[in-house]
Amino acid sequence: MAFGRRSDEDFETTGTGAAPSTPSAAGGLTAFIDQGSSFEGKLSFKDTVRIDGHFSGEISSENTLVVGESGEIEANIDSQAVIVSGSIAGDVTAGRKVVLHKTARVTGNICTPSIVIEEGALLNGQVSMKAEGKGAPAKAPAKTPLKAVDAAGTGKD
């Protein structure tokens, strides 16, 4: 894999996209913890970080965290975007979005205004949706009673 800067749009659900031509593009990949590496502590960054190794501690980001398939995170995460293909044990707070690819395994609560969960991803925790840029979760809609529907599609009481 070539190391260049990529925008977080390159890590959408399809994982495709061309890397920007200049290495100083905003939101570019600034750190990479490779498979077989282990890191413990507090990680904070402004651009995009990809973790394919093991990390435990606390993660804070102003942009995007990418957890590769071999990535193992034991930390609470506060970021703008979190793209997961590996495993996370901890709570995730994302200001813009969370994407759980089919190989993702998350044990913890997620708070974000936008979430994509591919078929096959595992999530053991609660999801709280909040309006983008707001501090509190969005108010849950009032519950309406469900009406039973028979095979013909007509409602019955």
> 117 by DSSP, 3-state: which?
strand
User: How many angstroms from the chain centroid is the CA of residue 153?
Assistant: 38
| Res 37: pLDDT | 86
Query: Cβ(3)–Cβ(21) under 8 Å?
Result: no
Tell me 75's DSSP state: E
| pLDDT per residue as tens digits for the range 63-92 | 999 999 999 999 999 999 999 999 999 999
Q: Which of 2-11, 44-53, 89-98, 120-129 is the least confident region?
A: 2-11
Q: Which of 36-45, 60-69, 93-102 is the least confident region?
A: 36-45
- Output 3 or 77, whichever has higher pLDDT: 77
In the chain, domain spans: 8-137
Max avg pLDDT among 3-7, 21-25, 101-105, 147-151: 101-105
Amino acid at 75: A
